[in-house]
């Protein structure tokens, strides 16, 4: 958010203003904004106008109402967020009439939820990564978030490792998710054993209110939290999982661990689970009955030394679909300790030739805006109204690798929340932009994207 923030102080040069009566006195208030310090072609101008600012302006109707329509429309063209446009539209009749002549704002982008001390704060990228107000039910203010789905659905654990729900932030509709896995006894028919589980990541095959919606998840067991995580599926309304699939045996290689999941709608549809070894486990629809589900593993040729990791440690990997292709986004860390972990990203596209699969590195983002998060990565186009805003937008999800954090008490629980930002897709030294506010660790949730 570096830049020069300025206000309209032209009245400084008018010595007679303060001596005029109310009808003739005019203080200019239109020349307000931010200069980003970059050429226009690489960084769009943001009009940083907080919500309180709009409320105050409404009380100062005469100067703002007299702005010529061309100036009002120029302001409106820079308001890329639908909430900002709504505030401007409601300022007065002359503004509303002028803004009606503009195209609607571009399609909305995900908002970043940062868990602050007094509850979650919602940060908007098109508004210059500043917060917007959002109302949450009291019970959800300090819930652990572990993913999201299109339409402002958010996955939450109200009690950290229990009471898992799916909440819609617009309608406040809440759907219960499984908290147990139920195994039948092989010795005594009719007897079952229940084991408590904790969701780590999740996604859906469609809107949760659609008939036939299936959910997929990465889960851990309360009895053995340090054991490898499992893959589990459920139908909306299920009280318990009926089966789970181990990502690997305890003594098997760590490369078999699943680190992300995605639902692909191609063909009949399938859930894809990315492993640490950069292979993909595929579970094809129909998922239920589980005994008839078709599954396979897509093995990829190991990436070579020409992929330009520069010896940086791989922090995480994500799957995202973009322009009909499957991408893997690799998050790289710093070779030197003591800094924020994320330093750069590499983006690869899946290519298959006969029976072989390859990850081919993309030379650039090509105008993509990739928002990465477990189970909720999405791709958008800068050409759809966000010029100069291509990049990989990322959040701090380091707690995914700490299986014990959900079982600690609040005094010891730490969810890192500082490693958020945007990778510009440009060469060093300006690779990562820390465009979101500084944030210390939370004791109730990691950050999460809210998908429009």
pLDDT at residue 261, as a whole number: 99
pLDDT at residue 61, as a whole number: 53
CB 199 within 8 A of CB 177: yes
DSSP string, 4-69: EEE---GGGG-TTGGGS-TTT--------EEE-SS-TTTS-------HHHHHHHHT-HHHHHTS-H
pLDDT at residue 322, as a whole number: 98
pLDDT at residue 307, as a whole number: 60
pLDDT at residue 337, as a whole number: 67
pLDDT tens-digit series, residues 386-442: 999 999 999 999 999 999 999 999 999 999 999 999 999 876 666 899 999 988 999
Whether 229 has a pLDDT exceeding 90, the answer reads: yes
Stretch 68-87: mean pLDDT, rounded? Answer: 82
In the chain the first and final C-alpha atoms are separated, in Å, by 23
Q: 306 or 320, which is more confident?
A: 320
CA atoms of 349 and 358, how far apart (whole Å): 8
Closest CA to 86 of 71, 62, 102: 102
CB 425 within 8 A of CB 391: yes
Domains and CATH numbers, the chain: 4-99 (no CATH), 111-450 (2.120.10)
What is the H or E stretch that residue 71 is in? helix 69-77
Closest CA to 30 of 1, 50, 6: 6
Percent of the chain with pLDDT over 90: 59
Cα distances (Å, whole numbers) of residue 420 to 36, 146, 167, 169, 398: 19, 16, 24, 22, 11
What is the chain's alpha carbon radius of gyration, rounded to the nearest angstrom?
25
pLDDT tens-digit series, residues 112-136: 999 998 889 999 999 989 898 877 8
φ, ψ (nearest 5 deg) of residue 372: -110, 135
Quick one: pLDDT band at residue 40, thresholds 50, 70, 90?
very low
What mean pLDDT value characterizes the chain?
87
pLDDT tens-digit series, residues 41-75: 334 444 445 555 555 555 555 566 777 888 888 88
Single pTM value for the model: 0.84
pLDDT tens-digit series, residues 152-202: 999 999 999 999 999 999 999 999 999 999 988 878 888 889 999 999 999
Measured at the alpha carbon of residue 262, what is the angle toward residues 308 and 304, in degrees to the nearest 5? 20
pLDDT at residue 221, as a whole number: 92
Quick one: pLDDT band at residue 349, thresholds 50, 70, 90?
very high
CA atoms of 139 and 50, how far apart (whole Å): 27
pLDDT at residue 62, as a whole number: 52
Q: 96 or 179, which is more confident?
A: 179
pLDDT tens-digit series, residues 375-386: 999 999 999 999
Q: Rounded to an integer, what is the distance from CA 83 to the centroid of its chain?
A: 18
Tokens of 129: 């990564």
Cα distances (Å, whole numbers) of residue 409 to 10, 102, 143, 405: 56, 52, 14, 9
Give the length of the chain: 452
Stretch 340-365: mean pLDDT, rounded? Answer: 92
For CA atoms 77, 79, 84, 88, give the dihedral sign. negative
Closest CA to 98 of 133, 72, 79, 60: 72
pLDDT at residue 214, as a whole number: 98
CB 394 within 8 A of CB 342: yes
Percent of the chain with pLDDT over 70: 85
Give me the sheet containing 174-176, strands edge to edge: 144-149, 153-157, 164-168, 174-176
- Which of 81-95, 162-176, 351-365 has the highest average model confidence (pLDDT)? 162-176
């Amino acid at each position: 958010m570096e830049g020069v923030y300025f206000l309209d102080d032209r009245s400084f040069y008018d010595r007679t203003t303060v001596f005029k009566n109310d009808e003739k006195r005019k203080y200019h208030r239109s020349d307000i904004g931010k200069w980003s310090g970059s050429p226009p072609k690489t960084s769009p101008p943001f009009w940083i106008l907080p919500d309180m600012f709009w409320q105050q302006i409404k009380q100062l109707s005469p100067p703002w109402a007299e702005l010529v329509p061309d100036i009002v429309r120029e302001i409106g063209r820079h308001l890329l967020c639908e909430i900002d446009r709504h505030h401007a539209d409601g300022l007065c009749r002359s503004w509303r009439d002028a803004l009606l002549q503009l195209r609607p704002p571009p399609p909305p982008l995900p908002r970043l939820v940062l868990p602050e001390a007094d509850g979650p704060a919602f940060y908007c990228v098109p508004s210059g990564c500043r917060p917007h107000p959002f109302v949450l039910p009291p019970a959800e203010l300090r819930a652990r978030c572990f993913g999201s789905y299109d339409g402002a659905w958010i996955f939450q654990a109200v009690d950290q490792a229990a009471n898992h729900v799916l909440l819609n932030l617009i309608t406040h509709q809440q759907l219960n998710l499984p908290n147990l896995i139920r195994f039948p006894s092989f010795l005594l028919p009719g007897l079952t054993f229940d084991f408590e589980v904790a969701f780590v990541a999740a996604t859906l095959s469609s809107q949760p209110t659609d008939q036939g919606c299936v959910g997929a998840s990465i889960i851990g067991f309360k009895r053995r939290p340090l054991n490898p995580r499992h893959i589990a599926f459920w139908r909306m309304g299920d009280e318990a999982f009926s089966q789970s699939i181990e990502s690997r045996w305890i003594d098997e290689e760590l490369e078999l661990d699943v680190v992300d999941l995605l639902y692909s709608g191609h063909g009949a549809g399938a859930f894809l689970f990315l492993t640490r070894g950069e292979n993909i486990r595929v579970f094809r629809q129909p998922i239920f009955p589980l005994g008839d589900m078709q599954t396979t593993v897509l093995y990829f040729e190991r990436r070579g030394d020409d992929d330009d990791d520069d010896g940086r440690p791989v922090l995480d990997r994500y799957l995202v679909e973009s322009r009909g292709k499957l991408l893997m986004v690799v998050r790289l860390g710093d070779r030197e300790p003591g800094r924020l972990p994320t330093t750069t990203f590499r983006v690869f596209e899946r290519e298959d030739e006969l029976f072989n699969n390859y990850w081919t590195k993309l030379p650039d983002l090509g105008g993509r805006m990739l928002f990465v998060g477990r189970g909720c990565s999405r791709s958008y186009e800068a050409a759809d109204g966000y010029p100069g805003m291509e990049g990989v937008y990322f959040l701090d999800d380091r707690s995914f690798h700490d299986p014990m954090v959900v079982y600690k008490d609040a005094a010891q629980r730490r969810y890192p929340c500082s490693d958020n930002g945007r990778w510009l897709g440009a060469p060093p030294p300006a690779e990562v932009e820390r465009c979101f506010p500084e944030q210390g660790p939370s004791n109730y949730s990691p950050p999460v994207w809210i998908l429009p």
